[in-house]
Amino acid sequence: MSAACDLEQLESLAFDELPLDQARRALEHAGACGPCGLELAALRRERALFHARAAARPALPRLELFAKVEGAAKARALKQRARREVAAFALCAASLLCVVGLAARSAHEVVPMSASADAMEPCTSSEGPGYSRACGAVASMDEIGSLDAHFGACLVATPARCR
């Protein structure tokens, strides 16, 4: 073996992967270099062995097999489609339930806020009344009215009224 010996190139030559001019040069080198000649012969022998082995395999009943594969592919596609449809239906149903649930909840929530007098402070905002810790808690209108009068602050009843 010398610096000119290139085993990868020899393999590419044995597998007919080299362009014509490179193949000619590699072939010339293998003809002149003993180890490369032997390596090329061994590679060709091994490749021929695999080719012969493949060619000797009995032919498959391909059309018959294709009918089975086609049937199985269609069945699986149908199954997947059905699964997707069930998933989509479940998603729609869940969304609908959420919407109905939210609508029912908002219909029952006349006054969504609540406040307990212990948790409140009078409004100290420089912008004037309109903000309180009561915002976000649930209370009845009467309770809010009494708290409002007691603290002198605007205790908001709904988030929309929070400023």
Residues near other proteins, by CB under 8 A: 8, 15, 17, 42, 45-47, 49-50, 52-54, 56-60, 62-63, 65-66, 68-70, 72-73, 76-77, 80
Q: How many residues does the chain have?
A: 163
Alpha helix positions (H), the chain:
7-14, 20-32, 34-56, 62-108, 141-151
Biggest CA–CA distance in the chain, Å, is 111
> HSE-up of 44 (CA within 13 Å, CB side)?
12
Residue among 18, 62, 68, 64 nearest 40 (CA): 18
The pair of structure tokens assigned to 88 is 């989509």
Residue 16 beta carbon to other proteins: minimum distance, rounded to whole angstroms = 9
Residue written as tokens 């490179």? Answer: 22
**Residue 56: CB atoms within 10 Å:** 7
